[in-house]
């Protein structure tokens, strides 16, 4: 990791990504961790998926998120920290009717920064799943396809 300050309105190396309708702005990257600010509009979500090689967390700054661990539902609001251990399937949903802002992180960083570069603006679900699998993120099939 390089020393310094990542300003509030900036991303590392000027990066800012649209991933599944959400805005991700990278703030910190090292071999050991990757941290990004996320803005999740109302009614957006990240479908259930697994990080087989990374622990993930979210610190909610504004709004509320529903986190589903295969039928185990939790709601997180401002100041709450969501813990998603590697290998545990989880989906992230903004069902609050309002925008949510939060800080996400993973450890170790692995391939997630590169994945977000690839996913910027991708709208085709099949391509999103394909690219994610190449970067160590495995999406679960929809419930009706299981």
pLDDT of res. 2: 84
The secondary structure of the chain in percent helix, strand, coil, rounded to multiples of 5, reads 15, 40, 40
The pTM assigned to this predicted structure is 0.92
Per-residue pLDDT 10s for the chain (146 aa) are 889 999 998 999 999 999 989 999 999 999 999 999 999 999 999 999 999 999 999 999 999 999 999 889 999 999 999 999 999 999 999 999 999 999 999 999 999 999 999 999 999 999 999 999 999 999 998 765 44
How far apart, in Å, are the Cα atoms of 145 and each of 10, 13, 140, 142? 40, 40, 10, 5
Contact assessment for residue 67 and residue 113, using Cβ atoms and an 8 Å cutoff: no
pLDDT of res. 146: 44
């Amino acid at each position: 990791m390089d020393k310094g300050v990542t300003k509030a309105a900036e991303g590392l190396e000027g990066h800012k990504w649209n991933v599944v309708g959400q805005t991700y702005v990278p703030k910190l990257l090292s071999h050991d961790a990757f941290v990004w600010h996320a803005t999740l509009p109302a009614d957006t979500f990240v479908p259930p998926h697994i990080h087989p090689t990374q622990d993930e967390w979210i610190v909610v700054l504004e709004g509320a998120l529903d986190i589903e661990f295969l039928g185990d539902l939790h709601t997180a609001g401002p100041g709450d920290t969501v813990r998603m251990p590697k290998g545990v399937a989880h989906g992230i949903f903004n069902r609050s009717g309002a925008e949510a802002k939060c800080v996400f992180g993973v450890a170790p960083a692995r391939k997630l920064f590169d994945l977000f570069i690839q996913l910027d603006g991708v709208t085709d679900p099949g391509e999103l799943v394909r690219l994610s699998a190449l970067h160590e993120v495995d999406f679960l099939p929809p419930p009706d396809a299981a």
